Structure 1
């Protein structure tokens, strides 16, 4: 067909003709015309796989760090190295800062209200301005007192009931995000209605955003099938209605507190102050407030859980050295602070290696989309391509991280030629870099420092007194991937450390009472 068009009416006329009758046909013609210049890739496509990032890494190993897939009508590029991701998503951000069309997550589930999935344009720029204003470095440092106070609660929880450490990590992460966002803390993560409703919402979002999982992403016409004949559609529309109710009720509560004059400084207050200037509707503001609430809990709690997993599996290799540094810099009379961390390069390296070793945003976050044709290393990347930079491929790339499954903090103390300022790619690239990266990294660093200061973390013992091994590849499915439940032993280093933790916990409770929810409209 394409050859017939080309031979009969000529190249330039063919392009004009195709652009008029069908943009999709034009894209298909471009792909056909440049077929010999496309990046390498497989001839057959897998679909419906539970953990696509594992397959993507196999493709990167076989075909290189730029792989081409034709997933339905959409060309897809899989980037498997930090350099390729940096070159395209950072250096050429003007071409690679949009988003592909997300029919399940963006349209059916979110009605186009989630800035995280919005294409590059006026709505996304307003959303991004709000997030930058609320969470970039200078502003994020104002949240450090909350992070430190909640961290003291976490340390005491680990003393009181160490077997429930996963629940404690979840409560810490949830309370920091909810307090920073809405000015109300979370005391019981299992019974807090806001946390439960948000968990439900995020679980649905992460499950529907797995590339290749739903046929409607490849064949958009399926979107218009009546819900009665499409259970997958009915489920997300029902969830959308529940999400709107949750976010709206939370903002109504914020407005009431603001009117009474008892609203602490928080991100939602910032949104209300900026709403009129940016011309955003009440629903847009409500969804914007839900952005850090939705994304920050799972990533922070999951990263800290990965740290505990590394302690069980690799602890003797790095824990003694970290504790020597902590004892030398901090001593045993108080908990480490943010100011201390700047003087502890090895502890900071452990935090960086934690984010590198098992990235929670295993697919590299939400995919990018190209807005113009491009050529990279002689390979043609069509306009409208979906660009996926899976961190499972990038962070486990042997050329950047030899023996990538080994936990080696020393990587971040060596001179390495790695693009970007962090030595890893956990927070993304370019204009779509994670706005909450400063808040998230601060939580990981502080809690790793305090946990290593106060506790010994070792393998659990079986009934015969032998160490229980853990599986470092047992991680959940979904858009984000966290460690599956695993056993471990968490014991205080000494009675002195316990006394310090108890004392600082008691001191933390008084300022935290300001953020205890008095009224709650969410049901």
Structure 2
């Protein structure tokens, strides 16, 4: 009797288990079916969009073309794709998001300039935007509605107060004196030419922004800011490794910041960093206000004082003021110094162009004084030389941040969807044989009338180094002005050539393709020899440099803040830990 009941019970359990297993299996199958259907529907939509968009590699579900990306210099890969498909536009899918790459100057002009209002927005950017500055920064600010547009216009107006086309003419004396000082530094310590150029570029924007010059290349703010800018540049290049893989799998950005895929962000997703430049700005305003009226009259009003006064009309919070100051200070120092290092490389690799430039300078200027902007109309080859520096190895090699149309657009019958990434490939544009024959040759003559290399190019500048339309680099006028005076002065004063091997006495070759991989690319380190062209020029450099140093004394000063220690203190303020109170209960307190 007992055994029969036991057998009946075991049979019942077996039936219930089978039913349960069948139910669980059905649930799992249903879930898988839903997921598969969603993926299939999403993929069908991708393929439909692909059929209407510019040609490009065939995307896979979910991951798109991400894993086709090369490890280095993807702009060359996109140039090759453009040639393969014989089209100025190509579509490349980063995950489920299409990026349209423009590889042609006339196409960039048609879309970014003639349709500037449509292409004034930014796409969703997970790494550089959401995990960085988001909507609080002019560089990454999206324009999705009228409120966004008004907000962006306020930021652009405030930035133009500092570096607008008319404003920067008032900075000529600063740039002139600092470039004279660079020449003196080249004379005294030529092997440290990169550090001198970084100090120069950082000091110019520091004077403009804060009213305070940077006197030594050993100042930590130079290395810290330039390192930050170079990290930011790396976080703008499409990639198939973390953290850039977050653009392919954006849901991973919702996880806590200690997850391993956030490594390499350099603390960009910590709140403390946003306020560093605001703190510097407050300090600068206080220092300026303490100066006697005679000293204030002898120097331009620091941009941060103008910024603070004007921003009161708009109630801008500290993080937005910080971003405006940081954009000017950080980007101006890194891009300008990188451009000038490229100039030095060009002199080493193509000495005949340097010799021709120096012949023109000797004829027009002589050796008793250095060039000035007023000499520009009499220096056509120098003007062409500076244009070629800006074209040959443009710093912002993919044209800065991506644009994004605010509505669906078409080009040659192809769809460019609203919200998509649209990126200008400056490398491809500046290396198109149609506009620039023998593009890797540094050849200023291509900009001179009557030369067989001169070709039509949209716009009047002959290059697209600073971007396009309403998102063109705000500091373009300042950068062009500073590049001209510094290149002209260094050409006037120095012979810049390949270094000699101390053992063999032969030239140490330079590699014109050895550049970094970030958005703002610069030459990899290389050695060169720099020396004055004559004794008279050496004396002129010393005389002008010492006078410039005297004129710049009004901007002497120091900051008590350093980026690294500031971040550490802010992290401590933000940090929390559990402790026991007097009653034995756990509570959360800020770490002291």
- TM-score, with length taken from structure 1: 0.90
More deviation, 257-266/83-92: 257-266
Deviation per residue, 1:379-432 (Å, 9 max, x gap): 111111101112111111111111100111011113532111211101111001
For the Cα contact (< 8 Å) 2:436–2:455, is it kept in 1?
no
The equivalent position to 1:152 in structure 2, one of 177, 180, 183, is 180
2:384 touches 2:445 (CA, 8 Å); kept in 1? yes
Identify the match of residue 43 of structure 1 among 58, 65, 68.
58
**Greater mean alpha carbon deviation, residues 233-242 or residues 339-348:** 233-242
Are 1:496 and 2:536 matched, yes or no? yes
Aligned equivalent of 2:490: 451
Aligned counterpart, 1:510: 550
Q: Cα offset for 1:367?
A: 1.0
The 5 Å alignment of 1:243-322 reads 243-261=273-291, 264=299, 265-316=301-352, 318-322=353-357
2:98 counterpart SS class? strand
Distance in 2 (CA, whole Å) between partners of 1:472 and 1:402 is 17
Q: Is the Cα–Cα contact under 8 Å of residues 427 and 437 in structure 1 kept in the other structure?
A: yes
Alpha carbons of structure 1 residues 251 and 136: separation in structure 2 relative to 1, 3 Å: same
Work out the CA distance in 1 between the residues paired with 2:559 and 2:182.
24
Tell me the residue number matched to 1:80. Answer: 103
Gaps of 5+ in 2: 1-38, 60-64, 566-592
Structure 1, unpaired ranges of 5+: 1-23
Q: Residues 27 and 400 (structure 1 numbering): CA distance in 2 closer, same or farther, change over 3 Å?
A: farther
Q: Residues 502 and 240 of structure 1: is their aligned pair in 2 closer, same or farther, counting only changes over 3 Å? A: farther
Distance 1:49 1:65, change over 3 A: same
Structure 1 residues 417-469: Cα deviation after superposition (integer angstroms, max 9, x where no partner): 21112111011110011111111011111111111111111221112111111
The residue aligned with 2:408 is: 373
Q: Which one has more relative contact order, counting CA pairs under 8 Å at least 6 apart? A: 1
Instruction: Identify which range, 75-84 or 222-231, moves more after superposition.
Output: 222-231
Deviation at 1:249, TM superposition (A): 2.0
Per the TM alignment, residue 348 of structure 1 is displaced from its structure 2 partner at its CA by 0.8
Q: Take 2:512 and 2:381, find their aligned partners in 1: how far apart are those partners?
A: 22
Given the superposition, is the C-alpha separation of residues 376 and 310 from structure 1 closer, same or farther in structure 2, using an over 3 Å criterion? same
Cα distance per residue 1:230-251 (max 9 Å; x no partner): 3516844466445234213202
- Residue 118 of structure 1 pairs with residue 130 of structure 2: no
| 1:201 counterpart = 2:228 | yes
The CA deviation at 1:35 is: 4.0
From 173, 187, 198, the equivalent of 1:170 is 198
SS in 2 for 1:456: strand
Moved more, 196-205 or 97-106: 196-205
Is contact 1:108-1:236 (8 Å) kept? no
In structure 2, the partner of 1:106 is: 129
Counterpart for residue 16 of structure 2: none
Cα separation, 1, equivalents of 2:249 and 2:73: 21
> What is the TM-score when the length of structure 2 is the normalising length?
0.80
Query: Match for residue 433 of structure 1?
Result: 472
The 2-side partners of 1:39 and 1:272 are apart by 46
Q: Which residue of 2 aligns with 1:418?
A: 457
Could you say which residue in structure 2 is the equivalent of 1:406? Answer: 441
Rounded Cα–Cα distance in structure 2 between residues aligned with 1:160 and 1:179: 23
Which deviates further from its counterpart, 399-408 or 275-284? 275-284
Change (3 A) 1:132 1:238: closer
Give the secondary-structure state (helix, strand or coil) at the position aligned to 1:423: coil
Contact 2:135 2:142 in 1 (8 A): no
Q: Cα RMSD between the aligned structures?
A: 2.2
Q: Which position in structure 1 is the counterpart of 2:371?
A: 336
Quote how far apart the aligned CAs of 1:28 are: 7.8
| 8 A contact 1:457–1:490 mirrored in 2 | yes
CA distance in 2, matches of 1:408, 1:485: 23
Question: SS where residue 312 of structure 2 aligns?
Answer: helix
Whole-Å Cα distance in 1 between the matches of residues 356 and 559 of structure 2? 47
Aligned counterpart, 2:158: 130
The alignment status of 1:142 with 2:170, answered yes or no, reads yes
Aligned match of 2:515? 475
- The aligned length equals 498
